[in-house]
Amino acid sequence: MYAFLNKKIIIFMVIIIGFIFISLDQILMGNKKNFTVFTEIEKKDSIIEDHNPWPILYISIFYFTSISLGSLFFLSIQNVSKSGWSVIIHPIMEKISSFIPYGGFMIFIVFLLNTMNMIHIFHWMNPNLYDKIIENKKLFLNIPFFLVRSLIYVLGCSFFYSSIKKISCVLYTSHSLNDYKKLYFRSILFIIFFSFISIFMIWDWIMSLNPHWFSTLFSWYVLSSFIITGISTITIIAIYMNKKGYFPFFNKNHLHDLSKYLFSSSLLWTYFWFSQFLLYWYGNIPEEITFFIKREEIYNSIHFWMLIPNFLIPFFVLISSKNKSNYKIVFLVSLILLVGHYIDIYHLIAPDTGIKFCLFEIIGSLLIIGGFFTYILFINFNNRKSNSSEGNPFFQESKNYKYPYM
């Protein structure tokens, strides 16, 4: 209890430091205008403020919420596929998913503030803006329907998280096959639900930042990023908790399988990245290539540079079977992937909000939201009763799991 209290104090200090960093940005950068690259119609609506930390906070909230969603989605896949090897780390996946209600609530608050014209992230919500393209999308892209959809995403994902967690907690103590069947069925429902709503959620929460641009591959591209960041966080926490003695059954065999998921999901992300870029480069349609041109002008081809942490490093490092079972190497690759996919999320959102790159704001927002994310995890991990998955019928298989080719 004393150790947990110390950790809470450290987390609160980290959050306070985050606020200090954002305040430093206001002091040091307050007199400078944000850098924007907009089309002519977007310029009419863009409201350039001396200091606007909201877009950066929105990026961080979305990033950590996506980690939790990716973790819950991965957990559901493990339940539905009846994978025995991963059962001992199911509690870790559940704890990481615990941020979903909080992250979803904060995102919804951002939307409400935007609809009240208190902040300006989604420019199409400006009532004074007239744009023929946006007008043609009013049937889908209107404030009431947008808020209703967002509420469905947040409440739906929160419901499935709470439901899966509740059934799991009962299963871990009851050892009942009926409870396992309930967990299996609920996981199927979540996969169906999330596979459907994630497409619209990503359209709404990211792609609608620039209503003039659209991509049919975009949702799958971002969804693959959810999965990677979720698995990376699971891997980091599993290694850390094992070193601290909380998950003694976790070993190199389980780490090897997690590494294979990291490796394959990185390839999946790269496939979507290349597919989208190749089609746009070949078609060379002005309405489509503005996405890449804008980011090239602002960030000097970051779209290509982020292939290094998100594809090249995990590919060449984890292609070795020996490296897949090395704790230090996999831990480092997981950290690199988390950094690389934050860069990816940043480059998807920031250019369409008209903000200037500022390291103080980025660090501050990551410390604030990341600190809150960590605090929620610690609260859940402090409940030791739900840190073991012994009631799962595949627990013994997971406990004794051996990778046959190691």
More confident residue, 70 or 22: 70
**DSSP string spanning 335-401?**
HHHHHHHHHHHHHHHGGGTTPPP-HHHHHHHHHHHHHHHHHHHHHHHT-GGGS--TTSTTHHHHHT-
Task: Supply the pLDDT for residue 26.
Answer: 63
* Mean pLDDT, range 29-39, rounded to an integer: 46
pLDDT at position 231 is 97
Distance (Å, whole) CA 333 – CA 355: 30
How many residues would you count in the chain?
406
Residues of the chain with pLDDT > 70: what percent? 90
Fill in the DSSP letter of residue 207: G
The Cα 213–Cα 207 span in angstroms is: 7
Is position 1 within any domain?
Answer: no
35, part of any domain: no
**Structurally, how many domains does the chain consist of?**
1
pLDDT band at 50 (very low <50, low <70, confident <90, very high): very low
Query: Predicted confidence band at 386 (pLDDT cuts at 50, 70, 90)?
Result: low
- Domain that residue 182 falls in: 7-29+52-399
* The one-letter amino acid at 78: Q
| Distance between CA atoms of residues 334 and 322, nearest Å | 16
Is residue 33 predicted with pLDDT exceeding 50? no
pTM of the entire structure?
Answer: 0.91
Q: What is the pLDDT of residue 194?
A: 97
Query: Is residue 363 included in any domain, yes or no?
Result: yes
1 band by pLDDT with thresholds 50, 70 and 90: very low
Within a domain: 36: no
List all residues 6 or more positions away from 176 whose beta carbon is below 8 Å from its beta carbon: 170, 391
Residues 333, 351: Cα–Cα separation, whole Å: 27
Q: Please classify residue 110 by burial: count the beta carbons closer than 10 Å to its beta carbon, then call 0-12 exposed, 13-18 middle and 19+ buried.
A: buried
Average of per-residue pLDDT across 63-74: 97
Task: For residue 2, tell me if it sits in a domain.
Answer: no
* Distance in angstroms (rounded) separating the CA atoms of residues 7 and 22: 23
Rounded distance between C-alpha atoms, residue 13 and residue 24, angstroms: 16
Three-state DSSP class for residue 217: coil
Please report whether residue 230 resides in a domain. Answer: yes
pLDDT at 147 over 60: yes
Name the least confident of 32-41, 193-202, 206-215, 261-270: 32-41
pLDDT, tens digit, for every residue of 112-128? Answer: 999 988 888 998 888 77
User: 143, 125 in Cβ contact below 8 A?
Assistant: yes
Structure confidence at residue 256 (pLDDT): 96
Residue 286 resides in a domain = yes
Mean pLDDT of 88-109: 96
From residue 216, alpha-carbon distances to 165, 281, 354 in Å are 33, 15, 24
Q: 405 phi and psi, to 5 degrees?
A: -110, 20
Distance of alpha carbon 109 from alpha carbon 143, whole angstroms? 14
pLDDT value, residue 126: 83
Task: Please give the backbone phi and psi of residue 404, each rounded to the nearest 5 degrees, phi first.
Answer: -70, -20
Lowest mean pLDDT across 43-52, 148-157, 334-343, 377-386? 43-52
Cβ(336)–Cβ(342) under 8 Å? Answer: no
Contact yes or no for 367/21 (Cβ under 8 A) = yes
How far is 190 from 320, CA to CA, in rounded Å?
Answer: 34
SS3 state at 156: helix
Distances from the Cα of 286 to the Cα of 9, 283, 294, angstroms: 52, 9, 12
Task: Please report which confidence band the pLDDT of residue 30 belongs to, taking 50, 70 and 90 as the band edges.
Answer: low
Residue 20 pLDDT more than 70? yes
- What pLDDT is recorded for position 41? 39
Note the pLDDT of residue 45: 42
pLDDT tens track for 251-296: 999 999 999 999 999 999 999 999 988 888 888 887 778 888 888 8
The pLDDT score that the predictor gives to residue 294 is 85
